[in-house]
Amino acid sequence: MEKLDFTTEIIVAAKPHEVFEAIKDVRGWWSQNIEGSTDALNEVFAYHYQDIHQCELKITEIQPNVRIVWQVLTNNFKFGVDKQEWVGSHVIFDIIDLGDKTQVKFTHRGLTPDMECYEVCHAAWTYYIHESLNQFIMNGQGLATPKESPIATPKISEELLPEQAGKSIYHRLLIKVSVEKVYRAITTQEGLAGWWTPDTNAVAAVGSVLRFGFGPDYFKEMEVLALRPYSLVVWKCKAGYEEWIGTTLTFELTPHQKGCTLLFHHDGWANFSGEFASCSYDWALFFRSLKFFCETGKGFPYPDFNV
């Protein structure tokens, strides 16, 4: 059976030379953690995402306004049996002039469905090409992975979060999309409105207060205590039911071979009360909504979450 390389494409209202320049600026749409030059033939640059994925790529072909090819020289995945799956594969950008628009055909030659990493890589490349590169070409604002903090996530949690005594609600689920897409769903106004409640006021910034309305007579307010792109989000409840106030809500994201694992814990409850039990059940329903929202584009936010 023929092995099909991963490929996808976008069409943008831009000139080929604009697309070419945007693709070369890899830090603008893929990752700010790139080391080395990304715009000249035979240059080698290094990419890493935390300790999850590291690789080195060489620019083996560069035809101005027409084509760019990278060859993967080294690779290491934290997950899976074959941690070097990408080695020898080629990342190809074909730029096609359509007159008033330009097509970008992206191919990762050697990334095939029989590979362990295929699902997570499929999801990640789809996100970076269709959303990040697309936006970067059109308005100069891509969705590249931000520069990493030298502080590890567990240490961030210990330093930034108050110690929480009491009871905790825990949920863990696999969402079959990239970790980047899940992070946007739990941090942006559009994302949160798509799976929790349409009446959402949210700004993704530490110290900001998020407001979530549930009908005309009830709302919750959450202060953002911590944001670490693609791995950690922490809120503290400032307004809501009495038992909620002062509790912390933590979302921990981990890349998985099939997408992303979300570990959620809602800490600081005083007792195993009726509200605690109802809240735990409702979170399960809302995380079903989140999963559907990320995987299909349509969630079941309030008031439809328990239908």
pLDDT tens-digit series, residues 2-18: 569 999 999 999 999 99
* Of residues 264, 230, 228, 222, the one with CA closest to residue 246: 222
Separation of alpha carbons 218 and 26, rounded Å = 45
Q: How far apart are the first and last CA of the chain?
A: 44
- SS3 (DSSP) at 222: strand
* Burial of 158: CB neighbours in 10 Å, binned 0-12, 13-18, 19+: exposed
Question: Domain residues of the chain, as ranges?
Answer: 6-139, 153-296
Separation of alpha carbons 118 and 183, rounded Å = 20
Separation of alpha carbons 63 and 65, rounded Å = 6
* CATH fold of the domain at 6-139: Alpha-D-Glucose-1,6-Bisphosphate; Chain A, domain 4 (3.30.530)
The contacts of residue 273 (CB under 8 Å, 6+ apart) are: 243
pLDDT tens-digit series, residues 168-218: 999 999 999 999 999 999 999 999 999 999 999 999 999 999 999 999 999
In this structure, how many other beta carbons lie within 10 angstroms of the beta carbon of residue 190? Answer: 10
Q: Do 6-139 and 153-296 have matching folds?
A: yes
Residue 1 is predicted with a pLDDT of 43
pLDDT tens-digit series, residues 70-110: 999 999 998 877 889 999 999 999 999 999 999 999 999 99
Q: What is the pTM of this model?
A: 0.81
Separation of alpha carbons 250 and 161, rounded Å = 10
Cβ atoms of 215 and 236 within 8 Å: the answer is no
Which CATH superfamily, name and number, covers 153-296? Answer: START domain (3.30.530.20)
pLDDT tens-digit series, residues 207-239: 999 999 999 999 999 999 999 999 999 999 999
190: region left, alpha or beta (phi > 0 left; psi from -120 to 50 alpha): alpha
